Amino acid sequence: MKISSPMEAWKYLPGTNCKECGEKTCLAFASLLLERKKKLEECPLLFEPKYAEKGKKLAEMLAPEVREVEVGIGDKAIKIGGEDIMHRHELTFFNRTALAYDVWDTMKEEELRERVREITNWRKFYVGEFLGVDAIAVRSVSGEAKTFAQCVKRVAEETDLPLVLCSFDTKQVEQGLKEVSDRNPLIYAATEDNWKAFLELAMRYEVPVTLFSADLDMLNTLAVTFSSAGVTNIVLDPGTYPTGKGLEETFSRFIRIRRAGIVDGNKGIAYPLMSVPMTAWLVNGNETGAKAENTLETSYWEAILADLFILKYADIMILHSIEPHSLIPERTLVANIYTDPRRPVSVEPGLREVGTPTAGESPLFVTTNFALTYYTVESDLASNKIDSYLMVVDGEGMGVESAVAGGQLNAETMKDALESFDVERKVKHKIMVIPGLAARLSGETEDVTGWTVLVGPRDSGRIPGWMENNWPPETFS
C-alpha cells in the first residue's frame, strides 16, 4: 500500500459526497478503504469515464504489498498474505496466520476420520469469541497415488475446512486434486526438480500452489517463472529447519523475504510465506510424528517454532500436535497478534442479564466495554451465581481505570447509558454499583443521573464478599 492516510485516498475519489457508497462523505469512505472495510466497487462513480483514471490509480495504490491468496471456498475459505507492513504497530496485520494440522495417508480409516473430526471441531472460548483452526494438511506417506487420493476423499467427507495436499510427487497430488479440485485446495510443493509438472497442475486446476526452496535465488526464480506463466496464487516455503544453525538461517530467510516484498518493493517474491513447524517431529521421530524419543518435549518445541514464525512472518503453517498444551498457545498467540493495535478489543455496550435477576431486588453493576474487563466481570458474577444486571458503558474499548482517567467513563456517559438502554424499565430500585476504580465519580454520577451510587470493589473477583456486606442495601429494609 502506498497510501497511509484517508486524506491521500480522498484525493483520488470523486469528492461529490453522493452517499451511494453508504457513507455520508467521500472522506469517510476513504477511511474505510484503508481499513479494508469498504471496496472500491462500492463507489459507482469511480467506474464512470470521468473518474476511471483516478479509480485505476487508487486501486494500484491500495493494493497490498504482499499478494493476498485465498485457499478453500465458502465461509471456511482462508485469506493469507495481503500485508503492507513489517511491524504490527505501524498499522495492523489484516490476515491472520492460518494453522493447518496434518493427517497422513497411512492412517487407519477410523483413526483418520476421528483425527479430522477432532481438528475440525476444536474450539476455545477466548475474549468473547470461539477460536478454531483453519485447515487440514493431507500428507502422502505411502508414496502411492491411489492411497493418497483415497485419504483425501475421506478427509473431504469429514470436514469443510480448506485442504493442503502435500507431496512432491505430482502424480499423487493430481489424484488427490481430482477428489477435491472444486474446493480450491493449496497444493504442496513445487521445487526446482518438479516445477514443470506442478505449474501444469496449478494452471489446469486453477488452484494455489506452494513453491519450496531454501535457496532464495531459486525461490525467486520459481516465483517469477510461475507468475510469468499466469499463476499468481503462490505461497512460498523457504524451508523450516527446526534446530541449530538451520533454525537461525530459516529465521533469516523469512525476514529477508518479507523485507524484500514490503520495504524493497520486490514484487517477484512478495507472496505469502509458509512455515512447517512439524519438521520438529521429523528430526525427533518419523514422518508420521510417531516414535519420537520424547513426545512431550517435541510437541513443546513444535509450539515454540510455531510461535516464533507467527511473529516473523508466516502466513500459513503446517503442524502436527493437536494436544491442548500446543494448540492453545499457538491459536491464542495468533488471536493476540492479529488484532488491530489501534483499537482495543471491545464488546457492544448494553444492558446484560447475568443469571435470572429480578427488577426490584437484583444489583445493577457497571463496567466498560473493554472485552477483557467485561468477560472478567461477567464471569465472576456468573461463576458465583450472583443474579444481577450488568450495564456495559461505551468506554471506547478501554478498561475502567483508563476510561476514568481519559474521560471516556464519566457521569454523563453513565447517564447516557441509563437512558439509551432503558435501564429504568428493568431495574426498579434505581441503585447502581460502580467499580472501585471509578470511586471518584460516585458523587457527580448521583447528581447527574438521580440514581443512588454504591462503590463496589476494585477487583470484580471480590464482588461476592462485597455482596455479603453491602447487598441488599439498607434502603431495602
CB 328 within 8 A of CB 99: no
- Going by the DSSP 8-state scheme, the letter that residue 288 receives in this structure is T
What does the block give as the cell for 34? 484503508
Q: Looking at the whole model, is its pTM more than 0.85? A: no
> Exposed/middle/buried for 251, CB within 10 Å: 0-12, 13-18, 19+?
middle
d(CA 210, CA 229): 15
Q: Is 139 exposed, middle or buried (0-12, 13-18, 19+ CB in 10 A)?
A: buried
DSSP string, 444-456: HHHHHH--EEEE-
All residues at 6 or more sequence positions from 409 whose CB lies less than 8 Å from its CB, including other chains: 368, 393, 395, 398, 400, 403, 438, 441
The 10s digit of each residue's pLDDT in 326-338 is 999 999 999 988 8
- The pLDDT of residue 291: 54
- Tell me the three state secondary structure of residue 391: strand
- What's the CATH superfamily of 68-337? Dihydropteroate synthase-like (3.20.20.20)
Q: What residue segments make up the domains of the chain, in order of their start?
A: 6-62, 68-337, 350-476
pLDDT at 285: 62
Strand pairing report for 129-131 and 135-139 = unpaired
Across 340-458, the runs of DSSP E, i.e. the strands, are 350-354, 364-368, 388-393, 431-434, 452-455
Residue 142 near residue 129 (C-beta atoms within 8 A): no
Q: Of 122, 140, 120, which Cα lies nearest the Cα of 131? A: 122
CATH of domain 350-476: 3.40.50.11600
pLDDT score at 2: 72
CATH architecture of structural domain 6-62: Orthogonal Bundle (1.10)
Task: List all residues 6 or more positions away from 342 whose beta carbon is below 8 Å from its beta carbon.
Answer: 92
Which pLDDT value is given to residue 346? Answer: 87
- The grid coordinates of residue 282 equal 521429523
Establish how many alpha carbons lie within 13 A of residue 104's alpha carbon, considering only the half-sphere containing its beta carbon.
16
CB atoms under 10 Å from CB of 422, counted, come to 10
Alpha carbon of 280 to those of 102, 189, 204, 289, 300: distances in Å? 13, 19, 34, 9, 10
List per-block mean pLDDT (blocks of 10 residues) for the chain, which spans 477 residues: 77 88 87 84 88 85 89 96 82 89 97 98 88 97 97 98 98 97 97 97 97 97 96 97 95 96 90 96 67 79 96 96 95 88 83 94 95 93 96 93 93 95 94 96 95 95 95 79
Q: In which residue are the cell numbers 513443546 written?
A: 300
